Amino acid sequence: MSRAVTAAGGLLPDRHQQGDFFVCDIFDAIPKDDLASMEHPLFSLATRPDRRILQYDHNGTEITVTPSVKGLATIHDKDILIFCISQLMAAINAGRQVSRTLQLKAHDLLVATNRETSGDAYRRLREAFERLAGTRITTNIVTGDKETTTGFGLIESWEIVRKSRGGRMASVSVTLSDWLFRAVVSKSVLTLSRDYFRLRKPLERRIYELARKHCGRQPSWTVSVDTLLKKSGSASPRRVFRKMLRDMIEADHLPDYEMTEEPGDLMRFTPRGGLVSSDTPPPTLSAEAVEEARRLMPGADVYALEAEWRGVWARSGSPRLRKPDAAFLGWVKKRSSR
């Protein structure tokens, strides 16, 4: 095998190791979302092209969102960012080097975000990339303990690296904004339920984000309809918005949380069984069990697997485990056989 050398006789730098780009190759990474966009409305909830300039000011946080001719980036377009954040966080947890330029397979992105893989799905994916790159954010939101008033695109750039025989995008290169990448590196993220991608309605996705951010694993979170309307970014009048919330309560589709209406025009969010922290300490795994899990599922982020297994353990009532290694590896074997 030939080895490229410099004029001085040494090896050329390994640019991949230096972080010029990051290859999204982690199987079944746990969905992660950045805290800032979960708390504040950066995405349109409209299902048609939205060309409004959005203004938001809450407790010292100021945001202006300006669309391109393609319209504002939507909450469904955000799936792309969630996929990228999830891949980067899984890699960071595994001790790998990352970069804000990612190379990903379009098919993997569609599957991970519970989308169809038809020709129309690839077309919609391309339109989503265009809206993400064209939408401009001006804000003073702090990411990574750094507050700057700055303007940026949700993604800095994107390009189709490779097409399939049918002309569809096969491999895509995406460069995240420095603002978003800083949030990832500082681990300013939260885990989402995989059922998030099953929510069809934009408002359901946005309300789940707010519940996940503000309620988390607390016993409950109560918020006024007015504040929820403001933080959701919905353009609906309050009367219509309240009716939409009541419809959500009746449908009861939110993952992880139950929403109820309280007197005083309030909404209360309560974690479903298993999310509230228990007094039982989480099970501890041995280094040998972690290595065995890596062997059973090569290419998977074993630390993400461990985190997901702990979630399953918590939702099952946090039972005391006599042999946590055996329980974890048994769960991994079932996962690998799916």
Over residues 187-196, the pLDDT tens digits come to: 889 999 999 9
What integer pLDDT is reported at residue 78 of this predicted model?
98
Give pLDDT, residue 76.
97
Span 208-221, average pLDDT: 89
Do residues 134 and 69 lie in contact, with contact meaning Cβ atoms separated by under 8 Å? Answer: yes
Which stretch of 12-21, 129-138, 310-319 has the lowest confidence by average pLDDT? 12-21
Please determine, for residue 21, whether its predicted confidence score (pLDDT) is greater than 90: no
What is the band of 88 on the pLDDT scale with cuts at 50, 70, 90?
A: very high
Of 124, 122, 125, 130, nearest to 69 (Cα)? 130
**Predicted confidence (pLDDT) at residue 12 exceeds the cutoff of 50:** no
Residue whose tokens read 């507050």: 147
Q: CA-to-CA distance for 7 and 331, rounded, in angstroms?
A: 53
Give the residue extent of every domain in the chain: 22-198, 200-275, 287-337
Read off the pLDDT of each residue in 85-104 and give the average, rounded to a whole number. 93
Question: Strand order of the sheet with strand 169-176?
Answer: 22-23, 101-105, 169-176, 155-163
pLDDT digits (tens, 9 = 90+) for 52-75: 999 999 878 889 999 999 999 999
The pLDDT of residue 15 is 38
pLDDT score of 172 more than 50: yes
Beta strands in 189-285 (DSSP E): 189-191, 221-224, 257-262, 266-271
Q: Name which residue leads in pLDDT, 149 or 5.
A: 149
pLDDT of residue 174: 96
Q: In this structure, what DSSP letter does residue 52 have?
A: P
Q: Note the pLDDT of residue 66.
A: 96
Q: What is the mean pLDDT of residues 103-118?
A: 94
Is 310's pLDDT higher than 80?
Answer: no
Q: Could you tell me the CA-to-CA distances from 57 to 103, 141, 178, 311 in Å, in that order?
A: 35, 11, 22, 35
- Average the pLDDT over 75-87 and give the result: 97
* pLDDT at 11 > cutoff 60: no
The reported pLDDT for the residue numbered 4 is 38
Please, which pLDDT band fits residue 81 given cuts at 50, 70 and 90? very high
Among 49-53, 56-60, 166-170, 271-275, which range has the highest average pLDDT?
A: 49-53
- Residue 13 pLDDT > 70: no
Reply yes or no on whether the pLDDT at 50 is more than 90: yes
Percent of the chain exceeding pLDDT 90 equals: 59
Q: Which CATH architecture has domain 200-275?
A: Orthogonal Bundle (1.10)
Helix (H, G, I), strand (E, B), or coil: what is residue 77? coil
The burial of 40, by beta-carbon neighbours within 10 Å (0-12 exposed, 13-18 middle, 19 or more buried), is given as buried
Q: What does the pLDDT look like over 276-295, one tens digit per residue?
A: 444 456 688 888 988 898 88
Computed over every residue of the chain, the mean pLDDT equals: 86
pLDDT of 30 above 80 = yes
Would the pLDDT of 304 be above 90? no
